[in-house]
Amino acid sequence: MGYSVGDELERKLSCEITKEQIAEYSRVSNDPNPMHVDEELAQSAGHPTVFAQGMLSMALLTKYIQEIAGLGSIARVKCQFRHMTWPGEKIYCMGTVTEVKEEGGKTLVTADIRTETEEGMPRVLGDVAFYA
């Protein structure tokens, strides 16, 4: 399939974030930050509850891109963790193509990507380069 600058990558529901999933991600990723698992600590720091790891959202975004472009298609990916993602939020992945070029006989597509809530609140923002 051909890509052009400005193309939207289909907005897709990734999952609804749960506290169990956040705790499980802490375990499998060796994340030592107690803010993701300790409800009381999170509240004493002024948060309503525990929040998801930025890297969990990045994992959802790379899964989304590989579902579109295939296993091993990602050449580079970057995400910024400016907004917090909370339990109970339904997280959607989406993207917009910003560049298409030929590189070593292959098509390299660059896109802005992001997660957002069902209501369209931005969460994790980033960009990706993948071989189409």
Name the residues that contact another protein, by CB under 8 A: 14-15, 21, 24-25, 27-30, 54-56, 58-60, 62-63, 66, 71-72, 74-81
Nearer to another protein, 2 or 72 (CB): 72
- The answer to whether the CB of 97 falls within 8 A of the CB of 3 is yes
Q: How far is CA 60 from CA 6, 54, 74, in A?
A: 22, 10, 13
Q: CB of residue 29 vs another protein: minimum separation in angstroms?
A: 5
Q: CB of residue 119 vs another protein: minimum separation in angstroms?
A: 22
Nearer to another protein, 3 or 64 (CB): 64
SS3 12: strand
SS3 127: strand
Q: CB of residue 57 vs another protein: minimum separation in angstroms?
A: 10
Nearer to another protein, 1 or 71 (CB): 71
**Calpha distance 29→79 (Å, rounded):** 17
Q: Residue 113: which of 102, 105, 100, 124 has the closest Cα?
A: 124
Q: CB of residue 34 vs another protein: minimum separation in angstroms?
A: 12
